[in-house]
Amino acid sequence: MIDISSLYQRFQDELSQVRASGILEQLMQKYVGKQGEVTLLLKNLVNVPIEERKIIGGQLQDLRQTIETALEEKLSHLEFQEITAKEAQESLDVTQPSHTMLGSLHPLTQVQHQLVDVFQSLGFAVLRGPEAESEYYNFEALNIPSTHPARDMQDTFFLRSGVVMRTHTSPVQVRAMEKYGAPLRMIVPGRVFRNEALDASHEHTFYQLEGMMIDENLTISNLLAVMKLLLKEMFGREIKVRLRPGYFPFVEPGFELDAECAFCSGKGCNVCKHSGWIELIPCGMIHPKVLEYGKIDTKKYNGWAFGLGLSRLVMLKYKIDDIRLMQSGDLRFLQQFAF
């Protein structure tokens, strides 16, 4: 016959000796764990005569519930005691000055949010794409086959899996065309990577904002109007720009839109390489082959695209003379932009 009263008394005696919450786990395993005494007794009821099994089984289930409840109450009591004891040992001097530093958005994030607001007001969708990109979307679908010399212009980081760290945000162009078709207005803010020689205006990791519009009968005038509006909204005034021919395999014709250097007002300095201008927005009319890769009917639609150097725009806006400062993690630099 199972002596349930003696078993429960033994449990109570052991429970009363527990002074730390960590010991309770051992006690729980001993009595109601998978190999606990009560658990094993319940499993062995098959060996008890059937007329006694129902009575003893009910008593063991009640005992199990009683033990679990007692353990929970003991745990709450011990945790309260431990917290109270810890608080008694610790003290807080409310007269001491606070050294808490409030965080703020990085200048890159601030400018990105401003740009997103501008383009969303013009009906552009904000899209994202993978930073580890396939060669197809990063190069081939943008009219840059494996033998094309333009790949040397975008020396990048290759991963062991065969994908590349994207050299620009442009891969999202074809991804967006495949998914949404035409007409289409979209921008893609994001981080890009190139194996660059570092200097005041070049980094191996920097930020871009890609933009694209596809519709019927678009012209370069549409592109230029949007770019001027963009710069005006960013700087709060008209910005002097120039448009000159530039080569990019995914646009035809292609242009470089330069902005007057904010550091020297066009006179020439180290930041602008003494030219008076900063290359800011490569752009142009989307190459028909890129539209075809995106499954767009080139007889009906055309489009324009641009790739804004977001990091360089931030440099211009806040007159930062070294792009490397933006990823330095130097709080003295970042605190200048707190608001």
Classify residue 320 by burial, with Cβ atoms within 10 Å: 0-12, 13-18, 19+. buried
| 210-249 pLDDT, tens digit each | 999 999 999 999 999 999 898 888 878 888 888 899 888 8
Of 245, 241, 259, 255, give the one whose Cα is nearest residue 286.
255
Asked if residue 18 lies in contact with residue 73, where contact means CB atoms within 8 angstroms, the answer is: no
Asked if residue 21 lies in contact with residue 28, where contact means CB atoms within 8 angstroms, the answer is: no
CA dihedral (62, 64, 67, 71) positive or negative: negative
Alpha helices (runs of H) in the chain, residue ranges in sequence order: 4-16, 21-32, 37-43, 50-89, 107-121, 135-138, 150-153, 171-180, 220-235, 288-293, 310-318, 331-334
Q: Which residue has the tokens 């990105």?
A: 112
Of 11, 15, 13, 24, give the one whose Cα is nearest residue 60.
11
Q: Can you read off the two tokens belonging to residue 95?
A: 């007269």
| 105-121 pLDDT, tens digit each | 888 888 899 999 999 99
| 133-175 pLDDT, tens digit each | 888 888 888 888 777 665 665 677 878 777 888 888 889 999 9
Asked if residue 142 lies in contact with residue 171, where contact means CB atoms within 8 angstroms, the answer is: yes
Residue 126, number of CB atoms within 10 A of its CB = 14
Check whether 295 has a pLDDT greater than 80: yes
- Average pLDDT, whole number, for the chain? 84
DSSP assignments along 199-254, one per residue:
BTTB-SEEEEEEEEEEESS--HHHHHHHHHHHHHHHHSS---EEEEE---TTEEEE
Residue 92 has a pLDDT of: 67
Query: What residues does each domain of the chain span?
Result: 4-89, 107-337
Q: Can you read off the two tokens belonging to residue 16?
A: 């009363």
In the CATH scheme, what is the code of domain 107-337?
3.30.930.10
More confident residue, 37 or 201: 37
Which of 37-51, 128-142, 149-163, 191-205 has the largest mean confidence? 128-142
pLDDT band at residue 339, thresholds of 50, 70 and 90? low
